[in-house]
Amino acid sequence: MSVATPDIQQVQQIVREVLQRHLQPSGRQPAANGIPVMRSAASEPASAPAPVASGRNPLVVNISARHVHLTQEHVEILFGPGAQLTPEKDLYQDGYFAAKETVAVVGPRRRMLPNVRVLGPCRSDSQVELAFTDGISLGIDLPVRISGDVAGTPGCLLMGSHGVVELKQGVIRAMRHVHMGPDDLRHYGVQDGDMINLRVESPFCTTVLEDLAVRAGKDIKLEVHLDTDEGNAVNLDKASQVELVRAEPCKCRH
């Protein structure tokens, strides 16, 4: 889908007052999380890992709510010269955090999502990760991509407390995936880039989500990332058990 880029001056004039109101800190804290789910990328870790049907490594399933990754250059444009991201909450993976800073994401026809959380640390490319329903709200046909693969994706406007950034590309729906360290790769018998399934056992909604991309790294904790729509669809808040399952080839003879 070709995304029309709104005129920056026009968008600034129309939404500046709204943004100033929405970008003020609310002081609200995220709702308490149940086990086994951490509700959003900005959430504190759950007090214990999810029950795992089989396997020695604890498994955490984390719903990654809409968020933005920024370059340092864009941080300074959006929040002022010399600005740095301010850590507010540590994420489950060591070294990553939800920042105090938020931006408004503006799509075609001046549709806007205010108060979208920025995650740190800074990256080499700015990127916006949204759920399918967010794309509908903005009027953007979101491609499903692995985080970081933004070539040829739609763009948007990002509006901060100080300025505006026009992204030519970088708006995606993140492919559901699981982060694994070397021990986890050996345990599940997979490699970086492979696909694996996630079985979620929840009341009246037990589901197998296929095609989770395996993302390997050193010093990485075993963690699944789903977007908000996926988490809601499988009633993840009420899940009693989650399990990673290797896909089996079809045994039918047809």
Burial of 242 (0-12, 13-18, 19+ CB in 10 A): buried
CATH number of 37-62+176-245: 2.40.40
Angle at 249 between CA 225 and CA 222, to 5 degrees: 25
Predicted model pTM: 0.77
Q: Report the pLDDT value the prediction gives residue 247, as an integer from 0 to 100.
A: 77
Positions of CATH 2.40.40 in the chain? 37-62+176-245
Q: Report the pLDDT value the prediction gives residue 30, as an integer from 0 to 100.
A: 35
The closest of 40, 39, 38, 41 to 49, measured between CA atoms, is 38
Cα distances (Å, whole numbers) of residue 226 to 5, 101, 175: 29, 23, 8
Mean pLDDT confidence for 223-248: 93
Q: Report the pLDDT value the prediction gives residue 29, as an integer from 0 to 100.
A: 36
Q: Considering Cα of 140, then 198, then 213, then 121, what sign does the dihedral take?
A: positive
**Percent of the chain scoring above 90 in pLDDT:** 72
Cα distances (Å, whole numbers) of residue 57 to 45, 54, 106, 128, 241: 16, 9, 41, 31, 14
CA atoms within 13 A on the CB side of 36: 22
Mean pLDDT confidence for 174-203: 96
Q: Report the pLDDT value the prediction gives residue 110, as an integer from 0 to 100.
A: 80
Mean pLDDT confidence for 227-238: 95
In tens, the pLDDT along 49-79 reads 444 444 456 899 999 999 999 999 999 999 9
Q: Report the pLDDT value the prediction gives residue 83, as an integer from 0 to 100.
A: 98
Mean pLDDT confidence for 169-185: 96
